[in-house]
Amino acid sequence: MRSWLRPTPLFPLLVVGVLLFFHGFYWERGLRPPGDGYRTPFAELGYVARYLSGQTPDRVIATRRDGRLQLFFDGEIPVQLPDSGTRIGQQLAAAMRPTIDRLTAAGVHVIPVIVPTKLSMYRDELPYALDTRSRWTVPPAGDQGENPERIHQVIAEQLPEAIDLYEPFRTFRRTYPDRRLYLPLDYHWTSLGSAIGVLEVSRVLMERGLLTTPPQWVSLGAQPPAPSTLTDLYPIPRWYLARGRDFQEQTEAVRFVTIPADESRRLILSGTSFSGGAPHDFLGQLRSVVGRPMEAFVRPNNGYAGAFLRMKEVGLQFRTGDLLIWEVPLCCINLEGPGVPES
């Protein structure tokens, strides 16, 4: 038989065909080709294959319940444990206390807003136990000494002026278990979650005489799936995210009726990546309900004091009567680097 009639190996041709097919998604949707984060098309296929086989990156905890995918960040695990939760809570309070005291002495109303971790709210969706190395393990499930309430108890004792959203979130989730307080594929809160936070902030401000008009809730319906920090840790390529049903769950969007601002009083937001910027995000929701002109300082990925560093850069001067909302999410506690401001 002539050599040109020999059977052609199918595997190389199949791989080439699959890669060309997948990359057609980029052209079809006008998306940029994969960047350095994905390295090669073969790496993209590898990440998808690992996801489909149930493998999870070291920094991501994944679970499915009722056919829904939930992703968690393993950096939240230390807050879940009583010993490390106690230590972290004490360190956090000690780092924040000097700034709170100095600003309070200057006539500034300082209100830290403590945002609990997604893991502490949805622990029941994870049928796993924690081992001593703080890694998720296979059953037997059960209480391994976890106590997510401990860090909140420490904060309540040492930062009594803070607004802790742990109990309001737990109450809401017990009442409405199917309404998402956190993004399904991320550790950030949803628009609904931040709105529940704003309701609690408003309630406390009214109790303290800093707000007179109650907030008026406006539902905006469903919100399309948001980009995910945790899917980037796979990293799952965009062509797969755009097609997979696991990544298409929508969440609720909420805004509030805007209260006319009293120009004589100022709201200053020290924010993080949880702040957002749209009317249905925490920043926009606060701006609507507090009734003060807002100056927002948001610098994600710079610890809790990135916003204070930005204030220093622009030469912000606090004034008597200012209201400072200090956003403190517990998902990624960072007391190093920029840290909490010391001056």
Q: Is the pTM for the entire model greater than 0.85?
A: no
Closest by CA position to 219, among listed 259, 257, 249, 182:
257
Residue-wise pLDDT for 274-292, tens only, equals 998 888 999 999 999 999 9
Listed ranges 3-12, 153-162, 271-280, 293-302; the one with the highest mean pLDDT? 153-162
pLDDT over 80 at 240, yes or no:
yes
Average pLDDT over residues 284-309: 84
Band of pLDDT at residue 124, cut at 50, 70 and 90: confident
**Amino acid at residue number 245:** R
Query: Domain coordinates of the chain in residue numbers?
Result: 40-329
CB 230 within 8 A of CB 222: no
Distance CA 244, CA 174 (A): 29
pLDDT over 60 at 71, yes or no:
yes
pLDDT over 90 at 192, yes or no:
yes
Helix axes 166-175, 149-158, angle to 10 degrees: 140
Distance CA 57, CA 27 (A): 29
Measured at the alpha carbon of residue 72, what is the angle toward residues 199 and 152, in degrees to the nearest 5? 50
Distance CA 308, CA 99 (A): 10
Alpha helices in the chain (DSSP H): 10-29, 41-52, 77-80, 82-105, 118-121, 149-158, 166-175, 191-207, 229-232, 238-241, 282-290, 306-314
Higher-pLDDT residue of 136 and 185 is 185
Q: Which of 23-27, 136-140, 174-178, 294-298 has the lowest mean pLDDT?
A: 136-140
